[in-house]
Amino acid sequence: MKRRIFARLLPALVFAAALAAPAVAADFAGERLHYEFGWQNIAAAFAEVSVDRIDIGGQPGYKIAMKLQSESKLDWVWRVRDMITSETYADTFRCNKFLFQQREAKFFLDTTINYDPARSLLIGSRTRLRKEGNQTFGPAQAPEDHLDPLGALLYVQQLPLVQGKQYLLKVFDGHRRHELSYTVLGRERINIGLGTFDAWKVEPRIVTSSDPDQNSKVAKVKSVFMWVDNAPPHRVLRIETDAFVGKIYVELTKVN
């Protein structure tokens, strides 16, 4: 159960964080967002998203980082110490480098994406880390118009949220290419630990994925809903998706 929680909600959190969307371009550097993951309002893990300003070959850019850690008292069930980082250009949000260090129980997997300017491609590879020897998969590739999962976090922040509007986004995770959509359903008032907020309710969906067997898997993905603060800077407040029993959630717990 615990591994399913992380497998389903980590991509949701990355995609949802992208909906923290001011209506105009802004400097995103310096913010720290803290989230709680759980099931039926029982905390199972915590995530921190940070954005810092960097220089990429003389061009302005951002370093985006997400750290995900399971609740220590639940480590005996499924210990998680994941780390995701991205270097993205500040003007286009195009990926320069991406690294996902997946550390879940005894499952260790590194996923990298590097931009190849000579071919205008994103090149991805995966390495499974094992005691008996590492196993490398790939390479995979995607056109440069695809964003990495964390670069998408900033890209969508330029867009206004308009009731009834659907937005499309191309994302490359180092293995598969995805076309994502999110639809702004309307306004609702929501209560979370930080207080009561007027929010936009948004539904993200995976439209297509590049693996030959992905169509059937995409069709089985349960609905995910999120609530985004109506007031600037429009932070994601809560995400919910149905589990076999009850609901899995992500909730904003701290801003600094």
Average pLDDT on 235-251 reads 83
- Relative to beta strand 195-209, strand 224-229 is antiparallel
Domains of the chain (ranges; CATH) run: 2-58+65-75+146-255 (2.40.360)
Question: What are the tokens at 78?
Answer: 């499924």
Is pLDDT larger for residue 3 or for residue 175?
Answer: 175
Tens-digit pLDDT profile for residues 136-167 = 987 999 999 999 988 887 776 666 778 898 88
- What tens digit of pLDDT does each residue of 187-227 get? 999 999 899 999 989 888 888 888 765 544 555 556 789 89
Please, which pLDDT band fits residue 22 given cuts at 50, 70 and 90? very low
Residues of the chain with pLDDT > 90, as a percent, come to 43
SS3 letters across the chain: CHHHHHHHHHHHHHHHHCCCCCCCCCCCCCCEEEEEEEECCEEEEEEEEEEEEEEECCEEEEEEEEEEEECHHHCCCCCEEEEEEEEEECCCCCEEEEEEEEEECCEEEEEEEEEECCCCEEEEEEEEECCCCCEEEEEEEEECCCECCCHHHHHHHHCCCCCCCEEEEEEECCCCEEEEEEEEEEEEEEEECCEEEEEEEEEEEEEEECCCCHHHHHHHCCCEEEEEECCCCCCEEEEEEECCCCEEEEEEEEEC
Q: Is the dihedral of CA 52, 54, 56, 60 positive or negative?
A: positive
pLDDT (0 to 100) of residue 190: 95
**Residue 27 pLDDT:** 63
Res 68: pLDDT: 92
Q: Which two structure tokens, joined as six digits, stand for 151?
A: 């670069």
pLDDT of residue 219: 53
